[in-house]
Amino acid sequence: MGSTSSQLDKDALSEYQELTFLTKQEIILAHERFSAMLPQEYKGATNIRLPMEKILEMPELKSNPFNKRICHVFSTSQPNDGSLTFEDFLDLLSAFSEAATMEIKSHYAFRIFDSDNDGTLGREDLEKMVTLLTGDSKDTSLNGEEMGQLINNILEESDIDKDGTVNLSEFQHVISRSPDFVSSFKIVL
């Protein structure tokens, strides 16, 4: 907030530093990147929402299979259209930053994977996720049988209470054991 056309004011900057895991340089860089994406006439205005399409043009997000989900998760817009304000953008970067804790990261990862937003990863969520990962094309995507087995295996491993879905704590349990989740769940500008 309170940003002038090219610069964040000091208070906001320090507040953002307080509230995110980003360093000053990273916040400034993020701001530059964000305002570079703004159309000219809105430069300097506060609280502009960048539509999701614009955000997805960033190379950092462009090739990410979950990019739309990421935008939706971090968007605070009223009808959830995935558009981001600068603050949402900072939230995104903070969650994906190096310094963010495991809890935060796994929390957001869970939300990203939970495509129907029902609070658990059901079979459909998992299926969608795998399809996103593998892509839609014929030769890469898994057939029904493979998918079924894959999901069964996933549930077998992670669904501790055997209710057929993976909930957040189960998810975090699994994720926290993973050696490389924290290092790969990162986005740097």
Partner 1 sequence: MSSGSEPLAVSSRGLSATKRHKSVRKNSRRIYSAYQDHQGSSEDEGKDDEGVDSNDPEEMFQNIQYQKEIIANIRTRPWPMRRKLRVLKQAREIVLKYEGQLTRTRGYQTAGADLLKKLYRLLNNIVVTFIPWEVRIKKIESHFGSGVASYFIFLRWLFGINIVLTIMTGAFVVLPELLAGAPFGTTRSKTIPKEHLPSAQDLDTIWSLGGYLQYSVLFYGYYGRVRKIGSAGYRLPLAYFLVGMAVFAYSFIILLRKMAKNSRLSLASASDENFTFCWRIFCAWDYLIGNPEAAECKGAAIVNNIREAIVEEQEKKKDTSLAVLISLRILANILVLLSLAGSIYIIYFVVDRSQKLEQEKPELTLWEKNEVSVVVSLITMIAPSAFELVAQLEMYHPRTSLRFQLARVLVLYLGNLYSLIIALLDKVNSMSSAVRGASGNWTESSSFLATVSQPETNGLSTQMSARPNITLATITTALNFSNNQQVHLGTVSNQTGPLEKSARSQQDQCWETYVGQEMLKLSIIDMIFTVASILLIDFIRGLVVRYLSDCCCWDLESKFPEYGEFKIAENVLHLIYNQGMIWMGAFFSPCLPAFNVLKLIGLMYLRSWAVLTCNVPHQQVFRASRSNNFYLAMLLFMLFLCMLPTIFAIARYRPSEHCGPFSGQEKIYDIISETVATDFPLWFSKVMSYVTSPVVVLPGLLLLFMLIYYLQSIARSLKFTNNQLRLQLQTERTEDKKKVFQLAAARLQAPEPAADENPDHQETDGTSKEASIHTTPSPRRNGSVTNFQSPGNRGNSIRTISQSASRTKLNRGTGSGSVRSPAVTIPKRRVEYIPNRPRPFIGGPSGTCRSKSCLHMAYNSPAHCSDSNQSEPLYRKTVRPLHPAEAPGIIAAQSYGGRRGHATRYVIINEHESRKKLLRSATRIPCHYVMEEPAEILELYPRNIRRYPTRTTHHQPHSYRSHTPQHLSKEEEEGEEERDKGRRKVSLGKTHRPRSLSDLHQQAQFYIGEGRNDNHAARYRVQEDDEEDNSKGDKDWVDLDFHSPAQVNRKSAEPGRSGHHLRYPRRPSQSPSRSRHLESHVKTKLRAKLETPLTESDSASAASSSDQQNSSTDQYIQVIHNKERPSKTKLDLNFTESQDLVCSKV
Q: What residues between 91 and 130 interact with partner 1 by CB under 8 A?
A: 91, 94-96, 101, 103-104, 107-111, 113-114, 116-121, 126, 129-130
Q: Find the binding residues for partner 1 in span 22-51 (CB under 8 A).
A: 23-25, 46-47
CB-CB contact of 94 with 100 (8 Å): yes
Q: Per rule CB under 8 A, is residue 178 in the interface with partner 1?
A: yes
Q: Give whichever of 37 and 142 is closer to partner 1, judged by the CB atom.
A: 142
DSSP characters for 70-124?
Answer: HHHHH---SS----B-HHHHHHHHHHTSTT--HHHHHHHHHHHH-TT-SSEE-HH
Q: Per rule CB under 8 A, is residue 173 in the interface with partner 1?
A: yes
Least distance to partner 1, CB of residue 53, Å: 17
Least distance to partner 1, CB of residue 189, Å: 8
CA distance 178 to 6: 40
Q: Per rule CB under 8 A, is residue 20 in the interface with partner 1?
A: yes
H and E: helices and strands count for the chain? 11, 2
User: Strand locations in the chain, DSSP E?
Assistant: 120-121, 166-167
Q: Per rule CB under 8 A, is residue 150 in the interface with partner 1?
A: yes
CA distance 94 to 52: 18
Count residues binding partner 1 (CB under 8 A): 97
Q: Give whichever of 43 and 131 is closer to partner 1, judged by the CB atom.
A: 131
Least distance to partner 1, CB of residue 43, Å: 18
CA distance 128 to 161: 22
Least distance to partner 1, CB of residue 173, Å: 5
User: How many CB atoms are closer than 10 A to CB 25?
Assistant: 8
Among 38, 40, 75, 128, binds partner 1 (CB under 8 A): 75
